[in-house]
């Protein structure tokens, strides 16, 4: 068979398998994310039946999936709400960094990985996965919950912080001068501020570029703008996820509502591909050697991330159940952690960092997908009722 035929067969088989797993997850009442990850792991390097021809297709689809998840989340909020939430979450952002980045840095130093390993592993443990959490919030029907703005504020602060962190990591990794590193950071910050300014001041003008009456042109236009802004942002060493989120923020009114309607099926497809691709890129054979430090690090930083979300929601005036929902949904790490590890290893950091980061991310995603549902259990709700009665 020629390459084109094999690509179609592999893509078709994977998509069909994902459909069956999604149906199974719905039947047993669980998020499909862990099943997608394990499915990708089975067909990745070192898996049962590795895919060869369709790898690039799923890689591109995974990138698009993250952008669509964040763009559609952005459609839920106005620029004024975003700025207000960011101002209210400065304290939570600082706590988030202290509680979640420091354990990674300490673990790297204990393992003898040096300053570069410490800076890289700190980033791996610090940043939650916007893609995973966005899908969990949607799957559990919590996008409109009172605590969700506090969760999104932490995610946006983390993504914006990557505008500072990634250029610094790159500069440390390749050994550039302090001046060159400062220039990279300055450019990245300028791009973020420019996108935010355009969204805040001229969002209504951006919305007029599209017609809510014509779904085909609306779909092409909003998807094109999202990918264009994300690409320009990444070219300036800024997270493409930040650019996609701010495009969603910029759209308003009927255009925003219709854009959400036409983009939702695409988001569902490509977001599922993101989680499968993450498993595809993982070599299962390398995970055992770093499993113990990954488990220890995951236990510590999952607890600190729950505490981060709990404190952020409490500061926002959210009740106790909402505080726990905020903390538990933030557990998963993902796309940024993998990117950070890849940058560090590519620049000559310890090679063990890549499999450790992969094992760590898989653990937090698998545990986080289940942990987010704890607050919906009868046991948890009964505990909250008992607590309320005791307080009275």
Between the CA of residue 213 and those of 208, 255, 259, 262, what are the distances in Å? 12, 9, 11, 12
What gap in Å lies between CA 128 and CA 156, rounded to an integer? Answer: 10
pLDDT, tens digit (0-9, with 9 covering 90-100), for 317-328: 898 999 999 999
pLDDT the model gives residue 97: 93
pLDDT the model gives residue 304: 96
pLDDT the model gives residue 123: 92
pLDDT the model gives residue 175: 62
Question: Do residues 168 and 188 lie in contact, with contact meaning Cβ atoms separated by under 8 Å?
Answer: no
Phi, psi angles (nearest 5°) of residue 252: -150, 170
Domain ranges for the chain: 70-115+149-271, 285-383
Low-confidence stretches of the chain (pLDDT beneath 70): 1-3, 29-31, 45-48, 81-83, 85-86, 163, 166-167, 170-182, 184-185, 188-189, 192, 195, 237-239, 346-349, 391-392
Give the Cβ contact number of residue 42 at 10 Å.
16
Task: Give the residue ranges of DSSP H helices in the chain.
Answer: 3-28, 33-43, 55-74, 79-88, 90-110, 114-126, 130-139, 148-174, 178-207, 215-235, 240-250, 253-280, 291-315, 320-329, 335-346, 353-371, 378-391
What gap in Å lies between CA 57 and CA 277, rounded to an integer? Answer: 10
**DSSP code string of 51-120:** --SSHHHHHHHHHHHHHHHHHHHHTTS-HHHHHHHHHHTHHHHHHHHHHHHHHHHHHHHHTT-HHHHHHH
Record the pTM. Answer: 0.74
Give the Cβ contact number of residue 380 at 10 Å.
16
Angle (CA) 297-102-351 rounded to 5° is: 60
pLDDT the model gives residue 169: 74
What gap in Å lies between CA 387 and CA 40, rounded to an integer? Answer: 42
pLDDT, tens digit (0-9, with 9 covering 90-100), for 237-288: 666 777 787 788 888 778 888 888 899 899 888 888 887 887 787 777 777 8
Calculate the CA dihedral of residues 73, 79, 84, 89 and round it to 10 degrees: 40
pLDDT the model gives residue 161: 78
pLDDT the model gives residue 128: 92
Q: What is the 3-state secondary structure (H, E, C) of 296-341?
A: HHHHHHHHHHHHHHHHHHHHCCCCHHHHHHHHHHCCCCCHHHHHHH
């Amino acid at each position: 068979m020629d390459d084109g035929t094999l690509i179609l067969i592999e893509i078709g088989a994977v998509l069909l398998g994902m459909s069956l797993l999604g149906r199974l997850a719905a039947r047993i009442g669980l998020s499909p994310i862990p099943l997608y990850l394990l499915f990708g792991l089975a067909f990745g390097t070192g898996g049962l039946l590795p895919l060869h021809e369709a790898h690039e297709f799923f890689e591109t689809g995974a990138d698009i999936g993250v952008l669509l998840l964040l763009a559609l989340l952005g459609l839920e909020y106005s620029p004024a709400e975003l700025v207000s939430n960011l101002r209210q979450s400065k304290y939570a952002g600082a706590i988030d960094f202290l509680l979640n980045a420091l354990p990674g840095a300490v673990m790297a130093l204990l393992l003898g990985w040096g300053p570069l390993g410490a800076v890289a592993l700190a980033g791996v443990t610090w940043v939650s996965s916007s893609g995973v959490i966005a899908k969990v919030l949607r799957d559990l029907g919590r996008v409109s919950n009172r605590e969700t703005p506090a969760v999104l504020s932490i995610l946006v602060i983390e993504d914006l912080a990557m505008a500072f962190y990634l250029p610094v990591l790159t500069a440390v990794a390749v050994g550039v001068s302090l001046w060159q590193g400062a220039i990279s950071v300055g450019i990245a910050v300028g791009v973020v501020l420019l996108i935010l300014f355009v969204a805040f001041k001229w969002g209504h003008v951006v919305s007029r570029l599209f017609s809510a009456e014509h779904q085909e042109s609306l779909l092409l236009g909003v998807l094109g703008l999202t990918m264009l802004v994300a690409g320009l942002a990444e070219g300036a060493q800024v997270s493409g996820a930040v650019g996609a989120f701010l495009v969603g923020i910029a759209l308003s009114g009927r255009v925003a509502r219709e854009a959400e309607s036409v983009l939702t099926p695409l988001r569902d497809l490509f977001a599922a591909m993101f989680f499968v691709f993450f498993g595809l890129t993982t070599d299962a054979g390398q995970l055992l050697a770093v499993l113990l430090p990954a488990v220890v690090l995951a236990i510590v930083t999952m607890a600190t991330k729950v505490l981060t979300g709990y404190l952020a929601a409490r500061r926002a005036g959210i009740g106790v159940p909402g505080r726990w929902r905020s903390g538990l949904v933030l557990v998963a790490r993902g796309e940024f952690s993998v990117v950070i590890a890849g940058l560090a290893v590519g620049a000559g950091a310890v090679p063990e960092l890549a499999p450790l980061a992969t094992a760590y991310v898989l653990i937090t995603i698998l545990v986080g997908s289940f942990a987010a549902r704890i607050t919906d259990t009868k046991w948890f709700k009964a505990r909250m009722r008992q607590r309320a009665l005791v307080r009275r």
